[in-house]
Homo-oligomer: A and B are copies of this chain.
């Protein structure tokens, strides 16, 4: 058993949920909770009450590699767990490599659309910047476990499990995400970071096909109605850019890999309007303020106008489902399964005081850290969740009290 000291960067919804899940597990020695806003880090730690002993709040600018490196050194942390938004992936990834610390994130380095044919060809793909440095990680004997949330993350573990235990040949692996969550008192209140949602949904969706490789389509392409389990029911899903499509084909054989998100028509229309008006942009525009003209990112303003999804748990009702649908053959016969994980908001609020979507994201990196601590998972280089054996992860998820399910289609 390795003695683990974790630097958790980001004390937003997901970071806070991570502290609450981890506090119940003995596998680590210390968790330093660092945020740009020190009051958020302090709030996360103090909310742990009697369980706060192994936790400590710090302030950090996740974009400042030197500051992050200094914090890793100060607290002798051997793991950096990144719970910030994807803009900070690269500085945190580099800081961890410099310190030879294990790095874990839940979203990968950002893509850039193809300059001429954005809706046909990939430009810079999600994670490209990270995979380019894989040799350096191997040389350092260190591990970057990338995309280790729920989606990507658990969805990738499901893909590996299907390939290892359920199928001989796989025709298609399609991650499918849907929910029936509503928020009382709000006409429009996304249940996950709007910054990330805009990034995912308005970038050209990426699809993988054996022989053809990765390619892109128009946003919101290939709509399909997917029937989600445990009472959620049918939801309209569309192609969205997501890490699984880039990760799964590197370790799992499948003729086609897709990711479809159950956005619903109203949400799709809203995102289209934001794009039409240029309000999805991250490049700053100049606007008046009481202090004179200032430069702000329109997407940050959109986020500031909406309620913080992490604070909506009390008003939220319903369930969220993440899962991987797999179609192929086993013992010569066609087979089709949906491997899934459902969280009921009422349960996650009662058990952890966290809303379902951020809680579901947060549990998976904690499970992964525990497997790394016990040595059941190990490796060097830049690896996705499907690079590791799936069964220990799925068993430990059940042991955490949040079981996964499988439906034969």
Q: How far is A188 from B289 in the complex, measured between Cα atoms in Å?
A: 25
Say whether A317 faces chain B, with CB atoms less than 8 Å apart.
no
Say whether A94 faces chain B, with CB atoms less than 8 Å apart.
no
Contacts of A296 in B (CB 8 A): 287-289, 294, 296, 301
Contact B276 A302 (CB under 8 A): no
Contact A278 B291 (CB under 8 A): no
Partner of A279, one of B286, B289, B294, B305: B305
Which residues 338-387 of A have a CB within 8 angstroms of B?
Answer: none
Number of contact residues on A: which range applies? 20 to 34
Which residues 285-305 of A have a CB within 8 angstroms of B?
Answer: 285-291, 294-298, 300-305
Which residues 253-284 of A have a CB within 8 angstroms of B?
Answer: 269-270, 273-274, 276-279, 281, 284
Partner of A301, one of B187, B188, B269, B285: B285
**Copies in the assembly, this chain:** 2
Say whether A48 faces chain B, with CB atoms less than 8 Å apart.
no
Asked whether A291 and B288 contact (CB < 8 A) given A276-B270, A279-B302, A279-B305, the answer is no
Q: How far is A323 from B200 in the complex, measured between Cα atoms in Å?
A: 46
- Find the B residue at minimum CB distance from A279: B305
Partner of A289, one of B276, B290, B294, B303: B294
Contact A188 B294 (CB under 8 A): no
Partner of A287, one of B273, B277, B291, B301: B301
Contacts of A302 in B (CB 8 A): 277, 279
Tell me how far the C-beta of A120 lies from the nearest C-beta in chain B, rounded to whole angstroms. 20
Contact A305 B290 (CB under 8 A): no
Contact B291 A294 (CB under 8 A): yes
Contacts of A290 in B (CB 8 A): 284, 295
The 8 sampled A-B contact pairs (Cβ below 8 Å) are: A188-B277, A269-B269, A277-B302, A278-B306, A287-B296, A287-B304, A289-B294, A296-B296
Known contacts A269-B269, A298-B305; 11 further A-B pairs (Cβ under 8 A):
A188-B277, A270-B277, A273-B273, A273-B274, A277-B305, A284-B289, A284-B290, A285-B301, A287-B297, A287-B303, A298-B304
Top 4 nearest A-B pairs (CB, nearest first) are A278-B305, A285-B304, A273-B273, A301-B301
Q: Which residues of A contact B (CB under 8 A)?
A: 187-188, 269-270, 273-274, 276-279, 281, 284-291, 294-298, 300-306
